[in-house]
Structure 1
Amino acid sequence: MARVALQKRDQLPEHLRALWDRMTTYGPFEGQAAAMANRLPVFEHMWRLLTQLADEGVLPKRYLELAIVAVSLVNQCDFCVAQHTPKLAVEGITTEGAANLLDWEKHPELTEVDRLVVEYAIAVTSNWHRIRDAMFERLRAHFNDAQIVELTWRIALCGAFNRFNDVLQVEVDV
């Protein structure tokens, strides 16, 4: 049970209800949004950012979902692993494969670029202060600056969501 009251769509100010509706097309994140809605600027800015990033799509979904699940596995966030594993399945990674992403070096379902994304997600989450220029040289072989910025931001943001969901005990939506 969540540690804060979960707000409902009809409790939002009228101008934010369309954003709630748009958020539900992003995935089954009503519990997370309902917790965020206790502080309307958090709800509004996070969901506007996430839906805008989804609409613009500069980063392939496969790489985004690989990064999110890898970060969530490192942080042991059951909520985010459960919410994003089905999205990763759409991108061709089995449930078992998603559960084993931290073994990226030998992972049979990952391409070279997939492995790089997972390695980077783990590094940004666990060893951000030790990432060397060589990692960015490898990233630049596959991604432009906008994609690297978004990948880095989404990895860092996922870590924040992991903590938010775990600390407030937001339950997995099904």
Structure 2
Amino acid sequence: MARVRSIAPEELPGDLAAIYREFAGDYGPFANQVAVFAHVPAALRHLMPMLLELRAAATLPKRYLEIAIVVVSNLNACHYCVAHHKPFLAVTGLSEGGIDRIMDWQEHPELDATDKLVVEYAIAAWENSSRIPEALFRRLRAAFTEAQIVELTLRITLCGFFNRFNDAMGIEEEAEVRAAE
């Protein structure tokens, strides 16, 4: 149970309730997380629609997005986010065992060169954002558009925010996520 009361969508004004329901339903099984964010209407009003809009725009291929999220979530030991994003990554073709070994990326048989580049960048952007080698950025520019690089960086750093928020607030996995593990 989270460290604060979960707010039900019925307790919110219509516009916020709609965002809550859309995010908790369409984006994935994130009801426990959105029930905590509902305490701060501005967060619910801006963060969740931004994630929905980013998904709809599909600027960054889902595989690279999910690799980055799982890598950063592993770096931060955020079980909630790893458990939620492993199924999304599995849809992109990685096996369950391959996902579990993603941090051993350099010799990973299921990752291609671009996948490995995403892992390398996710680690660098999260752990040493002020010391990313220019050579790594040159490789990113060869593989991605500038918009994709910006979104990848946004999602890496936003993932770290969600990891820390979820852990600090004690947000537990939803029943359907626990059942799938």
Q: TM-score, normalised by structure 2?
A: 0.94
Overall identity of the aligned pairs, in %: 49
Matched residue type, 2:15: H
Q: Which residue of 1 aligns with 2:6?
A: 6
Structure 1 residues 139-165: Cα deviation after superposition (integer angstroms, max 9, x where no partner): 011101000000000000000000000
Matched residue type, 2:138: E
Cα RMSD of the aligned pairs, angstroms, is 0.8
Does 2:146 match 1:148?
no
Structure 1 window deviating more from structure 2 (10-19 vs 159-168): it is 10-19
In structure 2, how many angstroms separate the alpha carbons of the residues matched to 1:170 and 1:44? Answer: 20
Q: Which residue of 1 aligns with 2:75?
A: 74
The CA deviation at 1:93 is 1.0
Alignment: residue pair count? 174
The CA deviation at 1:122 is 0.8
In structure 2, how many angstroms separate the alpha carbons of the residues matched to 1:11 and 1:91? Answer: 37
The CA deviation at 1:129 is 1.7
The secondary structure found in structure 2 opposite 1:102 is coil
Q: Judge conservation of contact 2:19–2:44 (CA < 8 Å) in 1.
A: no
In structure 2, how many angstroms separate the alpha carbons of the residues matched to 1:81 and 1:87? Answer: 10
In the alignment, structure 2 segments of 5+ residues that lack a partner are 177-181
Q: Which residue of 1 aligns with 2:179?
A: none
In structure 1, how many angstroms separate the alpha carbons of the residues matched to 2:51 and 2:69? Answer: 13
Q: TM-score, normalised by structure 1?
A: 0.97
The secondary structure found in structure 1 opposite 2:93 is coil
Structure 1 window deviating more from structure 2 (10-19 vs 113-122): it is 10-19
Q: Which runs of 4+ in 1 moved over 2 A?
A: none
Structure 1 window deviating more from structure 2 (8-17 vs 155-164): it is 8-17
Matched residue type, 2:12: L
Matched residue type, 1:22: E
The secondary structure found in structure 2 opposite 1:5 is coil
